[in-house]
Structure 1
Amino acid sequence: MFNLLIGLDAGVVPADRMFEYTDDRVRRELGDEYELRIERLPALSMPEIGDERFEQVATLGRILSLRATGRTHRFEFEPNPRLKPIPVETVRELADRLNVDPEGWEFRRTHWAVKQAELFEVLFEYVAGAPRSIDRTYSPSAAVQFPTDTPLDSKLVAVMMPFDPNFDVVYETIALAVEDIGMECVRVDNIWEHDHVMGDVLSLLWRARIVVADLTGRNPNVFYETGLAHALPRRTILLTQNADDVPFDLRSIRYLHYGIGSKARKMLQEQLSDRLRTLSSSRQL
């Protein structure tokens, strides 16, 4: 999910414009403590399309604070200085994949919406020029070579986690969540198709439709594999037992925080099943 702020340049949004154009399911998921949950989501702030008072660009950033004050909500938006502004026409071109109605009034109405879409993945694919199918061509001279002649497996979920038996019970939980939605998962250390383990990693990432990456313990192999998954790009779900193990640059991406007790693992199974179901039904691969 991500925050979409349109026409909100003064740090204030009327209460009746909060959550306009937001699906009811998203509102329920945010719950009563939505202020805290919203602050964890990436944000895209832009003027109303056609408003000549403002430069027609959208800015990526995050919400530092949000609080209800009577008939308004006051907030602080912090732009990311490392990310260039995006022309609003580009945002409109990507509207369908960002769950915005390109033909409606949403781009021309001041409001705050929360959208069920992976903002950075959509923008990365657009900027990188990746097509919407598996037929992207990679240079044979590249240091990392994927098996581009291998087809995508629409039922395959790749699981990246430390090569440690302590994670076996976590993998069993992930496998149950994947099974719940009729897909299949493979943990990279459970396959041996190539002489070099990296060959198995590249093959699995290329064939998988969805990647689940457990960042617990800041394992460098998992970080590297997660970077490859994002670069392809593949729809990626991040997990961790410790929020401090999520690198700063990834904290704007939603992740599932879990425990290893039986009740906590049951909750992880349910949350992961819901997330997998959403991604597997998405039109974007």
Structure 2
Amino acid sequence: MFNLIVSGGGWEPHRDSFGSGRVLEYTDAAIAQRFMPNKVLDINAVAKLPTLFMSETQGAGNQVAYVGTITQLKLSGTDFQIEYAVDPAIRPIPNSSLLRMARELGIEEFEFSRTHWAIKDADLYKALLRNLYSDLPTPKVFQLSPEPANNRMVSAMMPFSAGFDGVYAALGAAAEAVGKKCKRADDIWNHDAIIQDVVSLICKSSVVICDLTGKNANVFYEAGIAHSLGKDVILITQSADDVPFDLRHLRYIQYLNNGEGLQQLTAKVTDRLETLAAGR
């Protein structure tokens, strides 16, 4: 089951209000009785359901909906005050896409143009997965790992050279300082093609550190993959001149490849990893 809340005026970020007179419209009678016994909304019960926050389809019909959860709900006068969080892992969904899967979601076409709150007896996430995510572009030269990312894994993308062994050790120390483990592709051999090991490592990592030193084409390619997969990426380099033009708007850590410089690199990467962990 899921909440379908359709607003005529769009949705303000994180909090909004909704008129109590239209709560549980177009909801099966048995479901309405379950969640609104004696015509009093069971706030705790509805807050546990995933929610589709939709705007009424108007004009050109380019409105989008968001999937999230209700974090706080209270009745104030004749309106419910809603605080909510949008799921960052689910991209905004055009109303036109929802219309194509309306039958599967139990939504009537007229509901797209009426402000109301309904509870639908359908699996929202399964419908979205089947209709919106099964047709995503599929890479042809490697496969993305189906395994979820490990929050304790950090990967290092750098040139395969003994000159970077000290850098790798410094990154490993930074990862250990925050309770994580750092790996690079030459630590593993699970596939015949090295690019598959690299991509699998990126997929499984919570953070990807890319050393741009020397303008290494492989590292640039791997940084692009990590960015495309939505990973948190930490860019490091020994020379600012090695940062490509398309990445110069992003912050990076510059370091010296000597004892003191690597100690400073460990400290700066540790700070960044702690910041990223705090923001999750």
The structure-2 alpha-carbon separation of the partners of 1:173 and 1:206, relative to structure 1 and needing over 3 Å to count, comes to same
* Contact 1:156–1:210 (8 Å) recurs in 2: yes
Describe how 1:104-123 pairs up with structure 2 within 5 A.
none
Match of 2:227 among 225, 230, 233: 230
Residue 166 of structure 2 corresponds to 169
Instruction: Name stretches of at least 5 consecutive residues in structure 2 with no aligned partner.
Output: 1-65, 67-87, 95-128
Is residue 244 of structure 2 the alignment partner of residue 247 of structure 1? Answer: yes
Is residue 184 of structure 2 the alignment partner of residue 187 of structure 1? Answer: yes
- Report percent identity of matched pairs: 41
Deviation for aligned residue 1:188: 1.0
* Contact 1:137–1:148 (8 Å) recurs in 2: no
Residue 197 of structure 2 corresponds to 200
Match of 1:154 among 148, 151, 155: 151
Deviation for aligned residue 1:146: 3.5
Alpha-carbon distance between aligned partners in 2 of 1:253 and 1:127, rounded to the nearest angstrom:
25
Alpha-carbon distance between aligned partners in 1 of 2:166 and 2:149, rounded to the nearest angstrom:
28
Max Rg structure: 2
- Summarize deviations over 1:157-181 as a string: whole Å, max 9, x none: 0110001110001100110011100
Deviation for aligned residue 1:190: 1.6
Residue 111 of structure 2 corresponds to none
Is residue 171 of structure 2 the alignment partner of residue 211 of structure 1? Answer: no
Stretches of 4+ moved more than 3 A in 1? 125-129, 135-141, 144-148
- Summarize deviations over 1:134-169 as a string: whole Å, max 9, x none: x86575753244334212111000110001110001
TM-score, with normalisation over the residues of structure 2? 0.52
Alpha-carbon distance between aligned partners in 2 of 1:253 and 1:126, rounded to the nearest angstrom:
23
Alpha-carbon distance between aligned partners in 2 of 1:275 and 1:160, rounded to the nearest angstrom:
17
The structure-2 alpha-carbon separation of the partners of 1:193 and 1:259, relative to structure 1 and needing over 3 Å to count, comes to same
Alpha-carbon distance between aligned partners in 2 of 1:191 and 1:148, rounded to the nearest angstrom:
15
Deviation for aligned residue 1:128: 11
Alpha-carbon distance between aligned partners in 2 of 1:222 and 1:128, rounded to the nearest angstrom:
33
Letter in 2 for 1:263: E
Match of 1:264 among 258, 261, 269: 261
Letter in 1 for 2:252: Y
* Contact 1:158–1:204 (8 Å) recurs in 2: yes
Letter in 1 for 2:276: L
The structure-2 alpha-carbon separation of the partners of 1:147 and 1:245, relative to structure 1 and needing over 3 Å to count, comes to same
* Contact 1:146–1:206 (8 Å) recurs in 2: no
Alignment coverage as a number of residue pairs: 158
Describe how 1:53-72 pairs up with structure 2 within 5 A.
none
The structure-2 alpha-carbon separation of the partners of 1:148 and 1:271, relative to structure 1 and needing over 3 Å to count, comes to same
Describe how 1:24-63 pairs up with structure 2 within 5 A.
none
The structure-2 alpha-carbon separation of the partners of 1:126 and 1:221, relative to structure 1 and needing over 3 Å to count, comes to same
Is residue 255 of structure 2 the alignment partner of residue 274 of structure 1? Answer: no
RMSD, aligned CA: 2.8
Alpha-carbon distance between aligned partners in 2 of 1:249 and 1:179, rounded to the nearest angstrom:
31
Letter in 2 for 1:227: G
Deviation for aligned residue 1:281: 2.2
Letter in 1 for 2:240: A
Letter in 2 for 1:201: V
Alpha-carbon distance between aligned partners in 2 of 1:249 and 1:141, rounded to the nearest angstrom:
24
* Contact 1:138–1:148 (8 Å) recurs in 2: no
Instruction: Name stretches of at least 5 consecutive residues in structure 1 with no aligned partner.
Output: 1-92, 94-121, 130-134
SS in 2 for 1:253: coil
SS in 1 for 2:215: coil
Letter in 2 for 1:143: K
Alpha-carbon distance between aligned partners in 2 of 1:127 and 1:218, rounded to the nearest angstrom:
36
* Contact 2:145–2:204 (8 Å) recurs in 1: no
Residue 87 of structure 1 corresponds to none
